[in-house]
Structure 1
């Protein structure tokens, strides 16, 4: 079986070779991204390839970034669940730690994360019940192998369908592979149930109570980064063709996508603040993609000073409009207090 990342890398290299055969402008894929994709590295139209891992890690080195806040929530939920589980006398805190991490690993918003937690709880309880059936039937040898195969099959089938159904299959699978079938059934059921409950409780607390204002601050930061990246693109256009600014265009698209995700998260977490910022969001997106579209349409020629000045004015006007009403959010909070 071909490893997927390796296969994707080979596909990208074939794109590079084919581009060279056609005599088109060729860029070193490593200079644009270190993440295998199916996007040609010399592609001038969106979607561009993803930025490098170094760039994405660097831009996440902020306490309010989505990655940082997610890491904080994972740490707090996992440590809290493990410590309480040990304090209660249970000897498998790893069950609670793994459950908490699986619920938070993708950094879900509060509603989506809570739904995932409920799925985890229901699926785990039903899965423990299924394991109890296997335990009472005293599966051994080929019977145990069949049970493992069936659980693995349904875990794979439901992994992308329904998380609760997937957990129903993975819970007895994990217990059987951990040789829990040789332990007293009552101890396993009680321990596993309590550990799952602890993980769901502390995950929910982390989702709803830990740094609720970080989403709004992260959105403000990303708006600033988007405008900053527009300036980087304009700087590149002042010294070369748009094709020579492929990396800054790539980064600008990434910042615009990140800003869009941030405003969506803000709309779920704080609808009033998101509503106050929605005009800014539309302005950032229109301005950024206007600049990207211009580069796409004029990829291989130098931009005239008049065109560059017009683009710069477009960005400058957008920034000025954003600053026209700095009290917009203050008005929202004042309305709330009333």
Structure 2
């Protein structure tokens, strides 16, 4: 026997329909789904039986959370493909710090896919989160624009702009790069090559100093600036240095190293703008019988866990990666992001650097 709703109309059934059919108030029906402990068992069973017959699955979780004003979840977004979070050592370490902070505060974590430009706006607008951590490796300005439209708190990391109005956590890229170059100079190196992160869109290979100085991305520009400050003071001209732009992946790093070692002069040391570049380069050299650090020293930048576990262990400029993630989460959940903050970096000397032979 039916309970007063026409067959085929299940999709339009509302809580008030269930309450009317079960002979209870809408408040009582609501308690059955949200606070079942305050409803007598026989009433609860009658309401649930009626809901099942009508095809009513329960109130919308999304609507309930939005009405409450907080969903207790953090969104992490980047315009890189989703696999970036799992493949890139820096991204993995950052996500570990974010996840640890979320665990400590009982908050959920949502990865927002922004790799498809056509879906980016929708994914940002529809994400059920209290705020966003924006990993602005590339396309950061667009992420910031869309998140501001959403009117939720956000914190930008690796932001490619100096806009002081954008809440951001940054690291001292110039000072860190200078420390890396100074370490090599003090060891006695003078023939030094650079394997950089991106200066432009969709290009890799040998670049001039002028091209590097015109970088679209502030991280790459700041790090080459830090290198130059020390190397030029040591009498090493920026125009005489071999500079190679990579895409921070194996294909581009390998191609740049093929060019570097085929067309000389052979460097005694390499400054790599990321640990991922440095680890790929170290593997490439060792597979070709070029000893690290016996023939070529390498310094990375990031301080990812893999750097300490490599053979030999990688000398690097360590960012406070976990602290970046933790501070971003706390700013969103608690006091709200405030302005721009720069965190220090540290030279960690390990076994991948030595005096030139």
Fold-level similarity (TM above 0.5): no
Looking at secondary structure, tell me which structure has more strand per residue.
2
* Structure with a larger share of its residues in helix: 1
TM-score, scaled relative to structure 1: 0.27
- TM-score, scaled relative to structure 2: 0.26
* Higher alpha-carbon Rg: 2
